[in-house]
Structure 1
Amino acid sequence: MDRTQQELKSLGVFGIYREGHRIMAPFRNIFNQVTIAFILPLSLIYLSEMEISSILFFRMAFRTLDDGNQNTSSDWASYVLFKLAYYTFLLIFSLLSTSAVVYSIACIYAHRDISFYKVICVVPQVWKRLIITFLVTYGLTFIYLVVAVLTLGICLAFGGTASVVLFFTFLIIYIIGFVYLTILWQLASVITVLEDSSGLKAVKKSRKLIKGKIWVALAIFVELIVVVGVIQFVFYVYVVYGDLWEMWKRVLVGISCLVLLVPVFLYGLVLQTIIYFVCKSYHNEMIDKPAMSDHLGGYERLYQPNEVQMEQV
């Protein structure tokens, strides 16, 4: 990644796509190992939730129809526990995947030696910082969601044509705002890894950096969401609700969806990191490679004492 800041500054959507491919190509082994360790389980959890949730839901529905009684508390407890487990593991592997990919690309950019062992050792240190940023962005999103629901509810309460028009107007505004918050969260995650900022400070920095490049980030985000949505739709239709299909066909489609989803998640994290460098260049902020190398080395020094102790043993 030897582009000058002026070259990075001028990159558009397709330029960022090409830059992502150019970075990943010489380091296929590292990214393949990161994919197998973190992104493959993340994708598997993401797709499995659809199938398992469908099974649990239909089991409760059929039990209600057969017995004529409402579902027991144990049925709902099983469903809620499964959802909690799903979101917990999804969060863990999302943060681990983000840590591993962002750290790897930063090492490539700073010309630091990188190995999968080093990534594995550093990721837990980076992951701790990302939790703080995630909690802050989650809190902001929750507040935004509550305000949006209350606003939409008030619009519908008045009734009439004007109320419906107002409802859909605020709904569109809400969707735009939610997408904007998601982009801020993605950029804040990269900032948390590469700078001495986390939590609300990282969110404020991401809001500052995204100015001027919001349409580029939005275009890439929407394209990735559309691709993920198509894969999810195919999985729902032919695997989750594909009861008329033979089992081997459903398994084949499920594996195909998994194979397609894994590189999309990986490529999305790579592009997310490149957008950070593009935004910094756009605002003429110096990308100091030696300083970045020292910052990344700080993560590595956190696990070196353990290595020394093991060698002494």
Structure 2
Amino acid sequence: MGATPVLIIWAAVSVGQMDVIGDVVLAVLVVSFNTRLFYLATIWHLATTVSVLEEAYGFAAMVKSENLIKGKLGLAIALFFILQLAMRLNHMAFKRLVVEGTDMGMANRVMYAIICFLLLSTGILFQYLVIQTVVYFVCKSCHHENIDKFALSDHLEVYMLGDYAPLKAKDVQLFRV
């Protein structure tokens, strides 16, 4: 996310073509790029929740999430930024303690790797399953949209139970090469 503006600035400075006006223009471009990137990423994350909880998929889910997020845009972007910051800190801790941790023994590095993995998996589950669903319901209530619990329950039952029938031995065909 943040690597592209840094590379642009580094390339401009290394060539030696930067002056005061160029610095200002480049700073405005970097801020504009990052702002729009966070806006689009926030809408994208809410669209994944909309596609699960409603009958909207793809571009329709993006439009629905953009309309939903209008009332709580600052809250959604702030939550997304904080969660991405936590993920980035976990990544930096893993890199410093496990990958570059040459001063400590192998047992300590494995223990830190397990801790970072548990933090990562918990963070992903918390971010994508809990926070996005809460933001979805908060945005829906902000727009005074009806949340039909029975329809939502019926819709999610397909994901939870499904119409799966267990396979029997006669249903499986073995191929011989």
Describe the shift of the 1:211–1:244 C-alpha distance in structure 2 as closer, same or farther (beyond 3 A).
same
Task: Please state if 1:242 is matched with 2:94.
Answer: no
- 1:164 pairs, out of 20, 23, 28, with 23
Does 1:277 find its partner at 2:137? yes
Give the structure with the higher percent helix.
Answer: 1
Residue 165 (structure 2) aligns with: 307
CA distance in 2: counterparts of 1:297 and 1:263, whole angstroms: 24
Match of 2:120, as an amino acid?
A: L
Aligned residues: 158
> Which residue of 63, 66, 74 maps to 1:204?
63
Q: Secondary structure at the match of 1:211?
A: helix
1:260 pairs with one of 119, 123, 127? 119
Distance in 1 separating the partners of 2:65 and 2:142 = 13
Q: Unpaired segments of 5 or more residues in structure 2?
A: 172-177
Structure 1 residues 162 and 264: CA distance shift in structure 2, 3 A = same
TM-score under structure 2 length normalisation: 0.78
| One-letter amino acid of the counterpart of residue 208, structure 1 | N
For residues 282 and 160 of structure 1, what CA distance do their matches in structure 2 show? 47
Aligned to 1:292: 152
Question: Residues 167 and 294 of structure 1: is their aligned pair in 2 closer, same or farther, counting only changes over 3 Å?
Answer: same
Q: Distance in 2 between matches of 1:255 and 1:298?
A: 34
Q: In the TM superposition, what is the alpha-carbon distance from 1:219 to its structure 2 partner?
A: 2.0
Provide the C-alpha distance between the structure 1 equivalents of 2:133 and 2:87, rounded to a whole number of angstroms. 19
Deviations 1:235-276 (A, max 9, x none): 111111112322122112111212222222221121111110
Taking a change above 3 Å as real, the CA distance of residues 299 and 225 of structure 1, as seen in their structure-2 partners, is closer
Question: Which residue does 1:224 correspond to in 2?
Answer: 83
Cα separation, partners in 2 of 1:260 and 1:176, compared to 1, 3 Å:
same
Name the CA distance, whole Å, in 2 between partners of 1:233 and 1:290.
Answer: 44
The counterpart of 1:174, out of the listed 33, 41, 50, is 33
Q: SS of the counterpart of 2:26?
A: helix
AA at the equivalent of 1:296: L
TM-aligned CA distance change 1:298 to 1:233, over 3 Å: closer
Change (3 A) 1:166 1:288: same
Identity %: 34
Go from structure 1 to structure 2 and tell me whether the alpha carbon gap of 1:300 and 1:257 turns closer, same or farther (over 3 Å shift): closer
What corresponds to 2:174 in structure 1?
Answer: none
Greater shift in the superposed pair: 251-260 or 180-189:
251-260
2:73 is matched by which residue type in structure 1? I
Paired amino acid for 1:192: S
Higher RCO by CA contacts (8 Å cutoff, separation 6 or greater): 1
- Spell out, residue by residue over 1:83-131, the C-alpha distance to the aligned partner (whole angstroms, 9 max, x if none): xxxxxxxxxxxxxxxxxxxxxxxxxxxxxxxxxxxxxxxxxxxxxxxxx
1:159 deviates by 4.6
Worse overlay, 220-229 or 276-285: 220-229
Give me the whole-angstrom Cα distance separating, in 2, the residues matched to 1:160 and 1:237.
Answer: 36
Distance 1:308 1:220 in 2: 41
Partner of 1:33: none
SS in 2 for 1:198: coil
Inter-partner Cα distance in structure 1 for 2:125 and 2:150: 27
